[in-house]
Amino acid sequence: MRRSDVVIIGAGQAGLALSHCLGRAGIDHAVLERGRIGERWRSQSWRSLRLLTPNWLNALPGSPYK
């Protein structure tokens, strides 16, 4: 069994962002997800959803802004 300093429950947008930040800080961690990574964004999102913030503000940490 692997031991980690931090366990993140859920690999949604917040869990992935936290994992990236912990990795960059050199903190050992594990991410647990019961389904596919980011599944809710694929299967349970609203087609009518519109964000009123700039795109760069909604990107995951470490992903290039386009």
**pLDDT value of position 66:** 65
**pLDDT value of position 18:** 96
Q: Where are the beta strands (DSSP E) in 1-66?
A: 6-9, 29-32
Whether the CB-CB separation of 39 and 65 falls below 8 Å is answered with no
Summarised one tens digit per residue, pLDDT across range 8-49 is: 999 988 999 999 999 999 999 999 999 888 777 778 777 887
Q: Which pTM was predicted?
A: 0.72
